[in-house]
């Protein structure tokens, strides 16, 4: 008897800007190579080291808006002056094929994904303190002082959406956060409701 007939798990990892979503997702994908990353589309400029097609699909605002008109996004949103979106078709195909996908949307986007996929596993990544969140944003750089204050304010508001998530993970030491994320993935794969064949008549799973 084996697990089988399972749709892909959709792991939605979100949390405030600066909390370290990108680093955590990269480390998680390295630690569990059976997970695939669902690349988002954005109009923001690439940061140092970010690759087009791997970290994000970087497009112009004009192209993004064409794709909105063509209904190509599962969800999209303005975040800090840039557009971000999750492409619909590729994601649905991957899940139907049984692949486990990790998305890394902003907090608003995550909630809209959850409305479309009530079965999505929603994880909120929190900084150990607000002070640490500010320190991480400063270290990352690339934002003006005003932009950073806006991000901090947004993070405090976003914290109120925690109740719409399934899991909360404190991103203090990266290794600990990744171990917890791996545990969540392992546990979710064993959820009874995700393993449909096992719920069939016993004859189907007899020896």
Q: Which residues bind a second copy (CB under 8 A)?
A: 1-3, 124, 126-132, 156, 159-160, 162-163, 165-170, 179-180, 182-184, 186-188, 190-192, 195, 198-199, 202, 205-207
Query: Smallest distance from the beta carbon of 199 to a second copy, in angstroms?
Result: 6
Cα–Cα distance between 4 and 12 in angstroms, integer? Answer: 22
Residue nearer to a second copy on the CB measure, 47 or 196:
196
Residue (89 or 207) nearer to a second copy, CB: 207
CB-nearer residue toward a second copy: 23 or 195:
195
Listing DSSP states for 7-67 in one string gives PPPEEEEE-STTS-HHHHHHHHHHH-TTEEE--EEE-SPPPTT--BTTTEEE--HHHHHHH
Of 150 and 195, the one with the shorter C-beta distance to a second copy is: 195
Kindly give the interhelix angle for 21-31 and 174-189, rounded to the nearest 10 degrees. 60
Closest distance of CB 105 from a second copy, Å = 17
């Amino acid at each position: 008897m084996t697990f089988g007939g399972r749709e892909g798990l959709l792991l939605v990892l979100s949390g405030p800007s600066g909390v370290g979503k990108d680093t955590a997702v990269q480390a998680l994908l390295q630690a569990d190579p059976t997970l695939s990353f669902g690349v988002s589309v954005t109009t923001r400029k690439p940061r140092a080291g970010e690759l087009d097609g791997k970290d994000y699909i970087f497009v112009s605002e004009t192209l993004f808006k064409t794709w909105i008109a063509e209904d190509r996004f599962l969800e999209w949103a303005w975040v800090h002056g840039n557009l971000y979106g999750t492409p619909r078709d590729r994601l649905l195909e991957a899940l139907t094929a049984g692949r486990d996908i990790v998305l890394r949307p902003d907090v608003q986007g995550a909630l809209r994904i959850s409305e479309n996929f009530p079965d999505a596993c929603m994880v909120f990544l929190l900084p150990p303190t607000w002070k640490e969140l500010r320190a991480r944003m400063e270290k990352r750089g690339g934002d003006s002082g005003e932009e950073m204050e806006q991000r901090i304010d947004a993070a405090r508001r976003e914290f109120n959406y925690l109740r719409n998530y399934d899991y909360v993970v404190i991103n203090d030491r990266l290794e600990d956060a990744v171990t917890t994320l791996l545990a969540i993935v392992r546990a979710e794969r064993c959820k009874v409701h995700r393993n449909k064949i096992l719920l069939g008549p016993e004859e189907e799973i007899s020896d």
